Structure 1
Amino acid sequence: MSSRDDILGAVRSAKPGLDAPAPTVPNYDENYPADRAGLIDLFAERLTMMGGTWHALPEGQTVDDALQEALADKLGKTFDEAVIASNVPEVAGNRALTETDAPGSVHDVDIAVLRARFGVAETGSVAFSEAELTVNSIAYLAQHLVVLLDPAEIVTNLHRAYQRDDFVSANYTVFHTGPSATADIEGVLVRGAQGVRSLTVIPAPVQ
């Protein structure tokens, strides 16, 4: 028996025989808009505060057109030259993602287009599981992240996020709150330092 087993065995034997229910944690929904439109506006405000971009589709604009408009000045190359990995039917990418791809194999992706499982108004965050990512590293190694989000899937806060069945049942879940950023060096804020350089959220109901 290892030292680890000895330690854990001692902890188990000393564990109190208390059978008490977990405390009920409030949801704090009273601090958030009660209507859907207000919740969407709050999400967009918090997303922008964290350096992300909210790109609502004007009348007649497609998701593909919105993607090109949002990244036109950020890409540094033409869209014909860009490596685009798309996991959504609204955008035709030129780089397929498969579950057998090595994490480092997506290092050359310029734009990743994903659908978020849900959004959180409190923080302006979008949530992904392994189902939306296919290759978990795509959300970190891509230069630019474009996210489709169904406005009906925006919850008030992280308390509500943690209660969702799809959050509990996922093998892997990650929250992205704006693009990568750091202010460690002389207090200067730099975006895109350790991950995606931009994060654009497009409200788009699931078809």
Structure 2
Amino acid sequence: MQKTETMENSRDRILAAVTANKPDLLPLPEIPVFNPESDDASFIIEKFHSTATTIGSKIFMVKDLEEVKDVIRAQFREGRIVTTIPALADIAETDLKTIIDPHTLENIELLIIQAHLGVAENSAVWVTEDLMQQRAAPFICQHLAVILNAADIVPTMHQAYNRIGLADYGFAAFIAGPSKTADIEQSLVLGAHGPHSMTLFISQ
């Protein structure tokens, strides 16, 4: 009994000391606003296009999903194609949401998904779990294709975080370009730990 009381007294003293030495609350630092080079829509798209191709992505400007289908048919004639977009059901599997074991995704040749927004300065696309349907899917597939509306491309990460800051989402990620590493002998290797290629369809 004495031992229990001593432990409780020690705990109370420690908590009291911590409370007494609690630092004053300070306001959060001001986050500077970095203005983009230009707000012109054509400039933003061109910047996104240039950055994406520099880091190894392929970009196609399309008018609708029919043009997306034409590119997919021409470039991916073999292998398992999966999509989270019901309108592409005639060229790909669409039952990704029903798959329980992510290991069954290991043989996906091409995954086609949509993105909420893109960032011109680094060509990253913002994808939440509701668009992925399976968290592992965009990272386990051999090739990744993302459909993005041109109007949803913002100049910088600052604008991107302004848009997603109050959004309600769980798992999400910025994805930019195919997987790559240059750790081994300073040689750039694509597809080292993720998709070998990334294709971006920009719809206007």
TM-score, length of structure 1 as denominator length: 0.81
Q: Secondary structure at the match of 1:98?
A: helix
- 1:103-142 to 2 correspondences below 5 Å: 103-142=102-141
2:41 matched residue in structure 1: 36
Structure 2: distance between partners of 1:101 and 1:36: 41
Number of matched residues? Answer: 191
2:194 matched residue in structure 1: 195
Q: Secondary structure at the match of 1:110?
A: strand
Per-residue Cα deviation, 1:1-35 (whole angstroms, up to 9, x for no partner) = 9xxx99xx6996343122x3323313312x32211
Structure 1: distance between partners of 2:108 and 2:183: 27
Superposition deviation, residue 136 in structure 1:
0.7
Superposition deviation, residue 102 in structure 1:
2.4
Superposition deviation, residue 100 in structure 1:
5.3
Point out the structure with the larger helix share.
2
Give aligned-pair identity as a percent: 29
Q: Which runs of 5+ in 2 are unaligned?
A: 1-6
Structure 2: distance between partners of 1:11 and 1:120: 48
Counterpart of 2:84 (choices 80, 84, 87) is 87
Structure 2: distance between partners of 1:204 and 1:58: 5
Per-residue Cα deviation, 1:76-111 (whole angstroms, up to 9, x for no partner) = xx33xx211111134221252016522222111111
1:182 matched residue in structure 2: 181
TM-score, length of structure 2 as denominator length: 0.82
2:51 equivalent to 1:53: no
Superposition deviation, residue 55 in structure 1:
1.1
1:17 matched residue in structure 2: 24
Superposition deviation, residue 60 in structure 1:
10
Amino acid at match of 1:198: S
**Alpha-carbon distance change, 60 to 139 in structure 1, aligned in 2, over 3 angstroms:** closer
Q: Which runs of 5+ in 1 are unaligned?
A: none
Amino acid at match of 1:116: A
Q: Secondary structure at the match of 1:169?
A: coil
Amino acid at match of 1:27: V
**Alpha-carbon distance change, 59 to 107 in structure 1, aligned in 2, over 3 angstroms:** closer
Do the aligned residues in 1 keep the contact of 2:39 with 2:155 (CA within 8 Å)? no
CA RMSD across the alignment: 2.8
Amino acid at match of 2:81: I
Structure 1: distance between partners of 2:16 and 2:152: 45
Do the aligned residues in 2 keep the contact of 1:129 with 1:174 (CA within 8 Å)? yes
Q: Secondary structure at the match of 1:27?
A: coil
**Alpha-carbon distance change, 134 to 38 in structure 1, aligned in 2, over 3 angstroms:** same
1:162 matched residue in structure 2: 161
Do the aligned residues in 2 keep the contact of 1:57 with 1:66 (CA within 8 Å)? no
Whichever of the two has the greater Rg, that structure is 2
